[in-house]
Structure 1
Amino acid sequence: MIQIFDEAPAGLQPAPHDPRVIAAGYQVTVREVDFGAVDDKDSVMLAFLAGLGLAQSFGRNWDALYDVLSDPGVWPPKLAILLCDYGHFRSRHARLSSDLDRVLLDAQAEAARQDRNLWLLIEEPDSDPNAW
């Protein structure tokens, strides 16, 4: 079975089961951004601020988000951003998520030009936690 980290990042991808465990085996740094309570652009920026551990001086706009995600001095060569509850966010906020998708994909493309990997992994909460 091919693991997601065997391949170059390819857009927004579904997260594998246990992404943190798999990433550790590939020496991929994982950061988690939770979209569960995101409902506007400001809360998108706050979710990235918290999830990525950004400085309070982070500009909180699309350009600043692109700049920080594509900065090789900030991130290791292999980074996965786990976008938690992103599908639900997309269904609630189509235009906002479209703008964010563009920023994320542009940052991913810039990382590739810098010979870095930026995986954008969508993780949805289990619909039934007792499904086991």
Structure 2
Amino acid sequence: MMQVFDEAPEGIQKAPHEPRMLAAGYQVALREVVFSDVHDKESLMLALLRGLALTDNFGRNWDALYDVLTDPEARPAKLGLLLRDFEHFCHRHPHLSGELERVLLDAQRDAAEHGRQLWLLSEELESDPANW
């Protein structure tokens, strides 16, 4: 069976079952960003800071996020971002999620141009769609 890490990263993809174990097998560093409590840009940047294990000097803006994701000194050559509760976040905050998606996809393209890989994996938490 074909696994997500068998192919070059392309856009935001559905996370595989057991993404952590699978990533470990492919030697992909996996970072988890949880969107459940994101309600504005500030809480989004905080979720990214936590999920990417950034220091407090992270600029908390789109350019700083792009720089962090594309910095070969700071990021492994094979990186996966597990975007937890991402679809719900997109439904709740279409403008904010659109901006985030643009930065993530730009960083993914930059990584590919430099022989690096950045997987963007959307994983939904078990919940009732009525709570969207």
TM-score for both structures, normalised by structure 2: 0.95
SS in 1 for 2:33: strand
Alignment of 1:108 onto 2:108: yes
SS in 1 for 2:55: coil
Distance 2:14 2:122 in 1: 5
**Aligned-partner residue type, residue 29 of structure 2:** T
Distance 1:50 1:41 in 2: 14
TM-aligned CA deviation for residue 127 of structure 1: 3.8
* Partner residue, 1:120: 120
**Aligned-partner residue type, residue 60 of structure 1:** R
**Aligned-partner residue type, residue 10 of structure 2:** A
TM-aligned CA deviation for residue 64 of structure 1: 0.3
* Partner residue, 1:75: 75
Name stretches of at least 5 consecutive residues in structure 1 with no aligned partner: none
Distance 1:96 1:29 in 2: 26
After TM superposition, which residue ranges in structure 1, 4 or more long, deviate above 6 angstroms? none
* Partner residue, 2:88: 88
After superposition, the C-alpha distances for 1:93-119 in whole angstroms (9 at most, x for unaligned) are 000000000000000000111100000
* Partner residue, 2:25: 25
TM-aligned CA deviation for residue 2 of structure 1: 0.4
Name stretches of at least 5 consecutive residues in structure 2 with no aligned partner: none
Aligned identity (percent) is 62
TM-score for both structures, normalised by structure 1: 0.95
Distance 1:103 1:65 in 2: 8
TM-aligned CA deviation for residue 126 of structure 1: 2.4
**Aligned-partner residue type, residue 7 of structure 1:** E
RMSD: 0.9
